[in-house]
């Protein structure tokens, strides 16, 4: 039997989502777990290719998600209230897209049914990062990158053709 049910991300606001719906919006790109530098004078935020010590560089997932604040006390908890204020969220971030009334991309696991498509589309941090444990804090400026904010420009417009 066909159903015309509207997906929750199109029918609910971020604040109306259940905890499991909220968590499923994360596409697993890992971009929010990259270290960022902020200019004191301007407030401008710059991404680095340095990942949080808890982020797995291959899966782009937190290795201790439920207990992350025990190891990273300043880890930012995304909430419906914070999403509009976090200008550094990547343009492809599902939380940002839903908050702005836009749909998810074809590669989002909720659309594709496959958590690997975010990596196949080239919009994740997979293979592009180093752990913060391997970089001296004084050298973070040497790792500033712009690709987390330009991934939308570079991504595939449609799903790749099946072989």
Confidence (pLDDT) at 5: 87
Confidence (pLDDT) at 143: 98
Token couple for 113: 């049914």
On whether the CB atoms of residues 54 and 64 are closer than 8 A, the answer is yes
3-state SS, the chain, equals CCCCCCCHHHHCCHHHCCHHHHHHCCCCCCHHHEEEEECCCCCCEEEEEEECCCECCCCCCECCHHHHHHHCCCCCCCCCCCHHHCCCCCCCCHHHHHHCCCCCCCCCHHHHCCCCHHHHCCCCCCCCCEEHHHCCHHHHHHHEECHHHHHHHHCCCCCCCCC
Give pLDDT tens digits for 20-35.
Answer: 999 999 999 999 999 9
- For the chain, which ranges sit under pLDDT 50? 1, 156-157, 163
Confidence (pLDDT) at 156: 46
């Amino acid at each position: 039997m066909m159903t015309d049910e509207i997906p929750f991300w199109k029918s609910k606001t971020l604040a109306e989502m259940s905890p499991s719906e909220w968590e499923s919006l994360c596409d697993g790109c890992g971009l929010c777990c990259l270290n960022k530098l902020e200019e004191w004078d301007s407030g401008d935020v710059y991404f680095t290719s340095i990942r949080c010590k808890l982020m797995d560089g291959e899966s782009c997932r937190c290795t201790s998600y439920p207990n992350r604040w025990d190891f990273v006390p300043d880890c930012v908890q995304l909430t419906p209230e914070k999403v509009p204020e976090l200008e550094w969220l990547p343009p492809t971030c599902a939380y940002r897209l839903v908050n702005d009334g836009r749909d998810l991309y074809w590669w989002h696991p909720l659309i594709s049914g496959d958590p690997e498509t975010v990596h196949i589309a080239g919009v994740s941090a997979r293979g592009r990062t180093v752990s913060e444990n391997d970089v001296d804090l004084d050298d973070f400026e040497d790792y500033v990158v712009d690709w987390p904010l330009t991934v939308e420009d570079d991504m595939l417009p449609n799903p790749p053709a099946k072989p």
